[in-house]
Structure 1
Amino acid sequence: MSLNVTPLSPRTPRSRAGEAPGSRDFIARAEKVAAIAEPCADAVDREARFPAEAFAAIREQKLLGMLVPAELGGDGARAADVVDVCAILGRACASTAMIFAMHQVKLACLARHARGAAWQLAFLSEVAERQLLLASSTTEGGNGADIRSSEAPVRVAGGRVSLQRDASCISYGREADALVTTARRSDGAAKSDQVLVVFRREDYRLEPTQTWDTLGMRGTCSVGFILRAEGAAEQVLAEPYERIHSQTMVPYAHMFWSAAWCGIASGAVARARAFVRQAARAAGGRMPPAAAQLTRARLSLETLRGAVQAGVANFERNAADPGGLATTEAQLALTMLKVEASELATTTVLTAMRACGLAGYRNDSPFAMGRFLRDILSSPIMINNDRILASADPAVLMSEAPTALSL
């Protein structure tokens, strides 16, 4: 089965004069990783283990630092480049794609909001040079999945910062080289008055409080921990998290997650296509009855790809305006992208499974769809669509739906 996919981004830059050969050839590099990740995907799912083979390949291809600015040793990639990589990885291994997406979201938060701070700039250079993997801690035991509320405060004294929090979920926490976490600004601050802090692996200890035995996305290893951390005061970003959240965290997360889900759906459609082709050959060229389901799955996939492409275009258009991403319309569009992509991806995989019939339903079949289905069902649940839609209700009331179709 070919791993080559049509890029989600409309423009993928290639090598330029003066750059190392292939330094910007993100699609080719991602496909090399996917070729390693795909044969291991079933084992990663079955054993609920970190996709170590895939991330060794990701480091070899130097993709972990792709969003780091070129002057700091990275590739200076666009968000659209990361979207392409997430989609290619998602087609091969959902857990690999989701971990990669989460890492790049945190890297974007640091790269876009360092404000020239020496510690953050040096750390970004280190990420690119050493291919460090960043984990995220934004949820706590008491706040559910409300990442705009923090219970635990940072405490700054004598040039040091410390934090202790009950982190209900830190995906791939044991395997990460550093942790990027939200926290309340101080003991007396409101829960919504948050900061973002970076801790190196040597700065913190993790004490597990929960296990990770889920239906899908098992390789993300999203275990709960008590986090105890201490570092230099400079490791706290000066930019308020409120701004980081709206300008970078939400836009990048929704684009990168959606791309990963699109990749999963693409993988399911490819498997269904292989089944229908085999069935047609066995029937002397007659198309099997389930071929219509393959056509429906492909239609749904193209709609999904179009939604992600439109989301990326909307982001790039608004990001060029200093206040563009803060507008109600931009925030609403990015919110709707996450919801629409997750629903479309789930529909696509289910339809692809119907195209395979019992062969897709069986776990011992070369056309088994179980892993694709279980992984994609996480998309409207792990980042809950109902919660997202409820938070968007005020914006929907304030924003009139556009009538023109042109972008």
Structure 2
Amino acid sequence: MNPFHRAEQAVLGAVFLDPGQLERVSPWLRPEHFYRPAHQALYASALALRERGHPGSTAAVGAVPVSWVADVVTEAGTRTRGVTASYAHQLVAACPRPEHAVVYGRMVLEGAIHRTVAEHAVRLHQAALADTVRGGTEETLLRADALATVLADLARRWGADPRPVPPPAKGEPAPRATAVVDGDEHSDEEFLLACLTARPDQLNAVVGWLRPGDFVDSGHQQLYRALGALHHRGEPVDQLTVLWEVQRRGALTSGDLDAERVLAVCDPLAVAGSAEHFGEQVLGAALVRTAAESARQIRALAAVAALPAGRLIGHALHALGPLDKIRQRWHTARTGPIPEKAPSTARSSPGRAEAARARSRPRRTSTPAPAAAPVPAVPSRTSRRSPS
């Protein structure tokens, strides 16, 4: 049997045997964290009866009335089907120790974190694929915000700080997923390079937020680097000088480019337009590709059942790092730099502190060091001596 499924049974059995355990787990464990609908209904019913002041919700261990279990089952029957009194007795039998309800609740929450992170990663990946076909970024940005919000909420419930944590380095890098690229992306990149070759002064408008890695074609990356280098050194920019710079950088021998392709892409007569417009198209496509890659990494992390919940959240936030960086440049390209956020002054909630205490060992309290005695002031040599 799945350990998470057994943990859900144990939590509910502990609530039936000792209703006071609800006070310990309810601040951070919610009904939606349970996987089975029957378990969600039973836990939500127990919380509802406690809110309405049911006498059994405050009964001591060993003095719990029979009506407590019966009323919880009856209430759960109004929320979902298949909840019977005999199943409630199975839940009681599945609980090894009612006083360990917090640990069982942590197991349930850890399973919910894995499922929730995987679900939102799939949604982000689907939004990125849809925006690739549609040619937009709105749905991708919405799903990315939803995933970041969910990670922050899960970290608070788990009792951890929502900070990025890089995964441990491995011997071989994980293979990158093949990006879904259509012909429009290649066309936008070629139009942009042609515009910059025809009017090199437009580089000043895009170099602040467009990077070579934003181009999906490796040959276009080399051409953008060559254009930027010529412009930075103040040298003339045309088809021939770009070809010369590309050759100096070794791109012609690496197989990414050849002379005919360089001359064809950098033809100033091929297109006339705004480099900023085509640059935004290239950057938007790069944002969507980055979101798809981040979602793929997060989904792979969530599939590892042996990964603790705190590490999963930290690794997932780290995987969103490249998306956050390119998103800042996307905002700069469209509306200007993002204003800096004020430092957060929010205090941790009692539920987060309780969750952290439940999964941590008490630390030894070290004896505070005695305060240092104030150092007496030394009189200055230049001070005037008294007449005496």
Name whichever structure is richer in helix by fraction: 2
User: Do these two structures clear the TM 0.5 threshold for a shared fold by scoring above it?
Assistant: no
Pick the TM interval, shorter chain: under 0.3
Name whichever structure is richer in strand by fraction: 1
Q: TM-score, normalised to structure 1's length?
A: 0.27
Q: TM-score, normalised to structure 2's length?
A: 0.28
Larger radius of gyration: 2
